[in-house]
Structure 1
Amino acid sequence: MPLDAHALIAAHAAALNAELADAPAEAILARALGTGEIAMVSSFGAESVVLLHLLSRVDPDRPVLFLETGMLFAETLAYQTEVAETLGLTDIRIIRPDPADTFAHDPDGLLHQSDTDTCCAIRKVKPLELALQSFDGWITGLKRHHGGDRARLAVVEADGAALKFNPLAAWSREDIAAHMDAHALPRHPLVAKGFASIGCAPCTESVLPGEDARAGRWRGTEKTECGIHLDGARIWPARPSKD
């Protein structure tokens, strides 16, 4: 994508972020849904049900992309079905890695033991980028309370050729819990077992009281992100014009 196009998208994101920086989540979500073809991306993890619930109240037919890496907890797969049915979400799109990639790079399913970055790239980053090619942007459930680089999370970001909206950026753990309680939303079953952030089974552990929510992800390594939310240009270009 030409440099001037990158600059335009960055400027658009900056203007939206200034407009929505202190807006409630519902207003941010509404603004996102009115900005072209936008999909929500959800892990159906520990806190995911809150944003999915907000979406269900305004646009239950909106596409929700769910990365089924082939290494998720059985509890996550069951929870995804339960939440979609409970909230009446009608367009859950299951995104899976390319079998050619897993065959070439991880034929025995043990790549996560030696190269977590490549494992995440073939099972999460590439499949999502390809799935997002038909959209102008996406909505995530990222929050500043997750810590690390997310502590400085903007409400709207320029993500390569697209816009990325984070309606719950300012929400605390207490805000999340209060919303779940107020609307009797189902909890991910692993939360009761001490899992505060839930990814692939081989690379996710429970956390101790007082630990960072993501301390159980890739424990014992310096890795904190799978790559989906890292800064940098996407491999996917702007969606072709309909003209």
Structure 2
Amino acid sequence: MADAALQVPTRPAPAAGAVSLEEAGAARAAALLDQRLREASPLEVLAAARTQFGDKVAAVSSFGAESAVLLHMIALVDAATPVIFLDTGHMFPETLAYRDTLIDTLGLTRVQTCHPDPAAQAARDAEAGLWADDPDACCSLRKVEPLDRALAPLDAWINGRKRYQAATRARIPVVEWADGKVKFNPLAALGPAEIEGWMRAHALPRHPLSRFGFASIGCMPCTSRVKAGEDARSGRWRGAAKTECGIHMRRLSTTT
């Protein structure tokens, strides 16, 4: 378990390319917290996040193929931890149903569903076809911008990324400083066998699409089945160079 809470200064992210002294101090504090939690269990990381930040930290979940593991751990530590779900308007109906199933099964009490800004959507994607013409712009409209609004009053957030999922995630730390927030990755070191073992040990409900070969589940138009031997995220934006929606790929963390 982590030592007494560190003093992590927070402030709005500076202009692109600018790093203030205050932010540099926060980055160092986040790096120290990463050192303390590097060998900690996911439950210990989650407990430390709540101890450190209280209601100024929230988890962000896609309610996708492996989301039940992190959400179950959150429920074990504190079921009142805020959880943010981004409903892009392109979600599988099965995902929305699965969200409701997990909320009920795990007893999560503070799940907030966020949507794209209606005015921005009308101006930039009135026909809902932006995903095909410019997937980066679509992700910005439907995921990045809504998440930025949801995270604005917070100092930190928790996500379920794992190093094994893709080459772009192979070096993620347990704690990092990115885009003006402390970011917790409690499952970073877990592998597929550990995720599957937790699912089975706790008889957690599975996403309805998992049995059809969907290993990573996002928006319906941009998600496909994963073939044998492919990494877990190869079914996202298949055929394109794009591998991330953008919420984890903005200004690089200064702790990595």
**How high is the TM-score relative to the length of structure 1?**
0.94
Report the counterpart of residue 33 of structure 1 in structure 2.
Answer: 50
The question of 1:79 aligning with 2:98 is answered yes
Structure 1 residue aligned with 2:219, among 175, 188, 200?
200
Aligned to 2:144: 125
Would the aligned equivalents of 1:6 and 1:160 in 2 still touch at CA under 8 Å? no
Query: Partner of 1:143 in structure 2?
Result: 162
Residue aligning to 1:7: 24
Q: How many residues align?
A: 234
Q: Cα RMSD over matched residues? A: 1.2
Runs of 5+ unmatched residues, structure 1: 235-243
Pick aligned residue for 1:172 from 186, 191, 207: 191
Please, which of 165, 168, 188 is the counterpart of residue 207 of structure 2? 188
Q: Is the 8 A contact 2:43 2:77 kept in 1?
A: no
Q: Which runs of 5+ in 2 are unaligned?
A: 1-13
Give the C-alpha shift of residue 22 in structure 1.
1.3
**Cα deviation digits, residues 140-170 of structure 1 (max 9, x gap):** 0000011222001110010121100000000
AA aligned to 1:155 is V
Residue aligned with 1:134, SS: coil
Distance (Å, rounded) in 2 between the aligned partners of 1:221 and 1:103: 26
Secondary structure of 2:84 counterpart: strand
Corresponding residue SS for 1:40: strand
Distance in 2 separating the partners of 1:62 and 1:19: 22
Alpha-carbon deviation of 1:231?
3.9
- The equivalent residue for 1:237 is none
* Deviation digits for residues 163-218 of structure 1 (CA, Å, limit 9, x no counterpart): 00000000001100000000000000100000000000000000111111101000
Structure 1 stretch displaced more, 1-10 or 153-162: 1-10
Q: Is the 8 A contact 2:226 2:232 kept in 1?
A: yes
